[in-house]
Structure 1
């Protein structure tokens, strides 16, 4: 988690740009699902890292930059943002901010990191499912099968991986 004095320094801005780039790249690392318009991607891993390492204002900057770049066609498109899977992108932003806020409230961050990441996952699913339902008009049972259930196992793994990476980064890079 970024310390207050490092938020808008060269280091802070550079790491925010790096995370925005990682979000774009993670969009292309995906496993398509034949029964869903959504794919399993590496985005959840990167979003979890963003939530664990950055302050809420930094996350707003990272996610706003990422969504604006999506609108310009980099790592996505306006059609994707407004389409069936666009809700996940908004959910990513909300989940990262929520995770960051929780990180700031916890006294023993090292012991609670994995739990904190799990707090954001239902938020991602909620945003993703609601937009998929609104766009596709399918019943909720179908939405759960397409937008939530297939993602749970790998998202659990990605939560633990993100927590491990964040722990290492905090030890190696004092600014986090």
Structure 2
């Protein structure tokens, strides 16, 4: 019988490694971004990775991954969407998205279930992850840009819905495949 080594926080080395890979993927995927002319929000691969993180890790681990990613950005490493960084980014027009990530994806992880399921993963990320993320973005746009709720939805929600659903489906597919490989 072998015993897996554990890190100081009681997490296995395997779990810490998975978390580290997820942080790295968050940093890299934020660079895969497409600016849009009518909004400060961008289309980004980051949301695929955040969903995948939620599908691969437990809620607390997912929260830690996102907080580490946020702290790296606050510290000045250009890991936020579009290669941006800095504490002030949290108080900009898209700062609400960043803050909402730390709430949305641990919730997705919490409700993903114990058995890998493409449909459950997809539904949880679409019904829970997307709206919580959008609410954060809408709040920051309304407060920072002084726009109406409708204008914030036009800038931060409506154009992104189809792509975000597709990204949730991709993450669900990958999450199920990876979780089956780990069993």
**Structure 1-normalised TM-score?**
0.89
Q: Give the counterpart of 1:112 among 120, 123, 128.
A: 120
Tell me how large the CA RMSD over aligned residues is. Answer: 1.9
Give the whole-Å Cα distance in 1 for the aligned partners of 2:38 and 2:117. 38
Note closer, same or farther for the CA distance 1:9–1:42 as it changes in structure 2 (3 Å cut). Answer: same
Runs of 4+ in 1 over 3 A off after TM superposition: 106-111
Structure 1 gaps, min length 5: none
Give the whole-Å Cα distance in 1 for the aligned partners of 2:174 and 2:118. 12
Query: Does the CA-based 8 Å contact 1:20-1:65 persist in structure 2?
Result: yes
Note closer, same or farther for the CA distance 1:169–1:137 as it changes in structure 2 (3 Å cut). Answer: same
Matched, 1:94 2:97: no
Higher relative contact order (CA 8 A, sep 6+): 1
Q: Which is richer in helix?
A: 1
TM-superposition CA deviations, 1:91-143 (whole Å, max 9, x none): 11211111111124x67745422111112110000011101111111111211
The aligned residue for residue 47 of structure 1 is 50
Matched, 1:27 2:27: no
Give the whole-Å Cα distance in 2 for the aligned partners of 1:117 and 1:143. 22
Larger radius of gyration: 2
Matched, 1:127 2:136: yes
Note closer, same or farther for the CA distance 1:77–1:108 as it changes in structure 2 (3 Å cut). Answer: closer
Query: Partner of 1:31: helix, strand, or coil?
Result: strand
The aligned residue for residue 19 of structure 2 is 16
**Structure 2-normalised TM-score?**
0.86
Structure 2 gaps, min length 5: 1-5, 80-84
